[in-house]
Chain A
């Protein structure tokens, strides 16, 4: 299994600003992903963070809004850019070496 940590755990941000969320895995993993979860809702995939290449985004999510970095096999960042209240959500990263994916505790973002 993999243990995943995220920073920050929560933040309150002003409209129009950007926030970078960090995701650290305790072991090298091939796959890392970023998901969004609205309170009380299910998880929606934002993108696959590819090591050494650009992230692969799902429909409805674009690189300009959610730039992702993956500099090595244990770390990734997600930036939420030019935030609006609609971006208020929980952002989760996950990672795994094989089929299994393990999740971080999430970053609870509130945009005012």
Chain B
């Protein structure tokens, strides 16, 4: 089955700096890669996703890149703000199964 590795496990940045979180996956059949933000006591919130036919996708301060050959994808957050502080999870799935395999999570702390 699919295995998703995520790093770093914790990341501390100054407000206004950029943050990058990286994930690798093992199953070449995976073709959908979402990123979730989870705040304390809440369910994961889908913030951005990318499909395997696209190399990069942007949404305001957030971008995701995908390298299918290397089987890795990354989340980039620019101009970080204290409200970006949360745990971020990457995940992967394939068209048929649709169930998500999650990475281990990254706790991002943005220092004001």
A residues at B contact (CB < 8 Å)? 1, 4, 31, 33, 41-45, 48, 58, 92, 94, 96, 99-106
A-B complex: 6 closest residue pairs judged by Cβ atoms: A103-B43, A105-B43, A99-B32, A43-B102, A42-B102, A103-B44
Contact of B46 among A31, A92, A102, A106 (CB under 8 A): A102
Closest to A30 in B: B98
Q: Apart from A31-B98, A58-B99, what are 9 other A-B pairs with CB-CB below 8 Å? A: A33-B100, A45-B101, A92-B44, A99-B51, A99-B93, A99-B98, A103-B36, A103-B43, A106-B43
Closest chain-A Cβ to B21's Cβ sits at a distance in Å of: 14
Q: Give CA–CA (A44, B1) in the complex, Å.
A: 13
Q: Which of B33-75 contact A (CB under 8 A)?
A: 34, 36, 42-46, 49, 51
Q: Give CA–CA (A100, B95) in the complex, Å.
A: 11
B residues at A contact (CB < 8 Å)? 32, 34, 36, 42-46, 49, 51, 89, 93, 95, 97-105
Closest to B6 in A: A42
Q: A99-B98, A100-B34, A104-B43 are in contact. Are A42 and B104 (CB under 8 A)?
A: yes
- Asked if A100 and B43 sit within 8 Å, CB to CB, the answer is no
Closest chain-A Cβ to B28's Cβ sits at a distance in Å of: 17
- Asked if A105 and B42 sit within 8 Å, CB to CB, the answer is yes
A to B CB contacts below 8 Å, 20 in the list: A1-B46, A4-B43, A42-B103, A42-B105, A43-B44, A43-B102, A44-B102, A48-B97, A48-B98, A92-B44, A99-B32, A99-B34, A99-B95, A101-B34, A101-B98, A102-B46, A103-B36, A103-B44, A103-B45, A105-B42
Q: Give CA–CA (A104, B36) in the complex, Å.
A: 13
Q: Give CA–CA (A72, B65) in the complex, Å.
A: 37
Q: Hey, which chain A residues are within 8 Å of B43, CB to CB?
A: 4, 92, 103-106
Q: Give CA–CA (A94, B91) in the complex, Å.
A: 14
- Asked if B104 and A101 sit within 8 Å, CB to CB, the answer is no
